[in-house]
Amino acid sequence: MNPVSIHPNLFKAAAAGNAEPFKKDIRRDEIESLLTAQTKNTILHINITSRKRKNVSTKFIEEILEICPSLLLKVNAKGDTPLQVAAKFGHSDIVSVLIKEAKSAQHGNEEPERGLKLPGR
């Protein structure tokens, strides 16, 4: 899978928490490969860092992880998973959702432990 620079319209949708464009004509592997050019942020990273307030709906995060659970462990250019970014930004609601998703994935074949580690722990 080669990274693909994210289209501005998809970037805006991720930032706004609109999952619809990602549900329609984009395959799972395409969603996983969508990254920002320099920071290598996924659509989850984009959504988390674009939030103006705490405790906004986590629906976007949940819907995207339902489509593409592998994004849970995807790191950006700094080596941060979405969980680490959510913790850094103080989004406890998202942290809870991501931990819940990681625990659910532990019962499958994925290895979410990597995504649960926070810096300095």
**pLDDT tens digits, residue range 9-55?**
999 999 999 999 999 877 888 898 999 989 999 999 999 999 887 66
The residue ranges of every structural domain in the chain are 4-109
**pLDDT tens digits, residue range 88-110?**
999 999 999 999 999 887 666 54
What pLDDT is attached to residue 115?
A: 47
Mean pLDDT score, 107-115: 51
What pLDDT is attached to residue 56?
A: 74
Confidence of residue 116 (pLDDT cuts 50, 70, 90): low
Q: Rounded distance, CA 99 to CA 119, Å?
A: 15
CATH number assigned to the domain covering 4-109:
1.25.40.20
pTM of the model: 0.83
**pLDDT tens digits, residue range 54-84?**
667 899 999 999 999 999 999 999 999 999 9
What pLDDT is attached to residue 78?
A: 97
